[in-house]
């Protein structure tokens, strides 16, 4: 005790040792704080590689703004925008596209020991969901589904009018739910709520990845899908193309064209491909954004900062 007092140069006032020991860290704290920034920072783990999959009728060019944002906020991130099935080629049947994208993403995943992130736009979001189902070895951390018709599409769009000029949306099922129609990507996720039986029987893509029609690989696909770290769903009411827009969040029309949210969908209630399990794990993030048109999802900076950047670790 004595030595403490003398050390402080206060020989007359004996400082009780317990108090002194409590004070010491407080006295030293400002000094430590001053020194900390100067200390060598521990090496920061690199950002995980990002793989981007485009939508119907577009290509890697659409993502130039997104690439700038990622480069700016997460410098050094390896971003690959896959230039496959561009433009009209994006109408090829989705299983053919899934095979092509699978060959392109497999080597990127194999090299990324910490895993990768997927950003998949519009129709590309369905390609990515199928990849997560069929790839046993995928190591996807965040799957960012950017305004994708995850529960299908039932709406007129300019694309549809151009492709099938004489078909109204209420008649398109006649084309789409035929073996011939399933040769078009759009028909692979055309979901007519008034013809559920035909959809379930004919859809060779959406009904399978949703586990709505049973198939021998359903259990394996569900297991693969659940390797996913986080599912980030982005979409909004001003999209103008995805119909209903809630399809971006796994909502869809019932037979009366009333939209039922994800939690009321059979695929969720039956957990047929893992959605309910993911939600229970806290691994689903829903990021609805108003004021963004379909073609603006990859260039809107506010959206990037709010809904995408936080999940690119």
Q: Least distance from C-beta 7 to ligand NAG, angstroms? A: 52
Q: Least distance from C-beta 232 to ligand NAG, angstroms? A: 16
195 is catalytic: no
3-state SS record for the chain: CHHHHHHCCCCCCCCCHHHHHHHHHHHHHHHHHHHHHHCCCCCCCCCCCEEEECCCCCCHHHHHHHHHHHHHHCCCCCEEECCCCCHHHHHCCHHHHHHHHHHHHHHHHHHCCCCEEEEEECHHHHHHHHHHHHCCCCCEEEEEEECCCCCCECCCCHHHHHHCCCCCCCCHHHHHCCCCHHHCHHHHCECCCCCHHHHHHHCCCHHHHCCCCCCCCHHHHHHHHCCCCEEEEEECCCCCCCCCHHHHHCCEECCCCCEECHHHCHHHHCCCCCHHHHHHCCCEEEEECCCCCHHHCCCCHHHHHHHHHHHCC
Q: Least distance from C-beta 185 to ligand NAG, angstroms? A: 17
> Per the residue annotation, which of 145, 239, 247, 248 is the catalytic one?
239
239 is catalytic: yes
Interface contacts to ligand NAG, rule CB under 6 A: 67-68, 71, 134, 179, 198, 201-202, 217, 254-256, 289-292, 296, 300, 302-303
Residue with nearest beta carbon to ligand NAG: 291
> Per the residue annotation, which of 191, 195, 294, 298 is the catalytic one?
294
| Nearest residue (CB) to ligand NAG, 186 versus 234 | 234
| Nearest residue (CB) to ligand NAG, 5 versus 100 | 100
178 is catalytic: no
| Nearest residue (CB) to ligand NAG, 170 versus 217 | 217
Q: Least distance from C-beta 282 to ligand NAG, angstroms? A: 25
Q: Least distance from C-beta 178 to ligand NAG, angstroms? A: 8
| Nearest residue (CB) to ligand NAG, 19 versus 257 | 257
> Per the residue annotation, which of 62, 122, 145, 203 is the catalytic one?
122
| Nearest residue (CB) to ligand NAG, 6 versus 219 | 219
Hey, which residues are catalytic here? 122, 239, 294
């Amino acid at each position: 005790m004595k030595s403490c007092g003398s050390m402080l140069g206060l020989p007359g006032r004996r400082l009780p040792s317990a108090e002194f020991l409590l004070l010491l860290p407080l006295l030293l704290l400002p000094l430590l704080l001053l020194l900390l920034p100067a200390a060598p920072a521990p090496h920061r783990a690199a950002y995980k590689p990002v793989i981007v999959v485009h939508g119907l009728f577009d290509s890697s060019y659409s993502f130039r703004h997104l690439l700038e944002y990622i480069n700016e906020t997460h410098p050094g991130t390896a971003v690959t925008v896959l230039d496959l099935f561009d433009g009209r080629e994006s109408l090829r049947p989705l299983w053919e596209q899934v095979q092509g994208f699978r060959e392109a993403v497999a080597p990127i995943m194999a090299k990324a020991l910490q895993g990768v992130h997927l950003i998949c736009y519009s129709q590309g979001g369905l390609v990515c969901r199928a990849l997560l189902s069929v790839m046993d070895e995928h190591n996807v951390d965040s799957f960012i589904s950017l305004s994708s018709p995850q529960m299908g599409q039932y709406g007129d769009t300019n694309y549809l009018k151009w492709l099938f000029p004489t078909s109204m949306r209420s008649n398109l099922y006649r084309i789409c739910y035929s073996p011939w129609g399933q040769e078009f990507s759009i028909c692979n996720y055309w979901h007519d709520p008034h013809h559920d039986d035909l959809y379930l029987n004919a859809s060779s893509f959406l009904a399978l990845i949703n586990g709505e029609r049973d198939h021998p690989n359903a259990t394996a696909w569900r297991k693969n899908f659940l390797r996913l770290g986080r599912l980030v769903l982005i979409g909004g009411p001003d999209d103008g193309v995805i119909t209903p827009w809630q399809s971006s969040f796994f909502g869809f029309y019932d037979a009366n064209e009333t939209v039922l949210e994800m939690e009321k969908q059979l695929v969720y209630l039956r957990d047929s491909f893992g959605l309910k399990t993911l939600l229970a794990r806290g691994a689903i993030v829903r990021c609805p954004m108003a004021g963004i048109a379909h073609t603006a999802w990859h260039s809107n900076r506010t959206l990037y900062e709010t809904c995408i950047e936080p999940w690119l670790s």
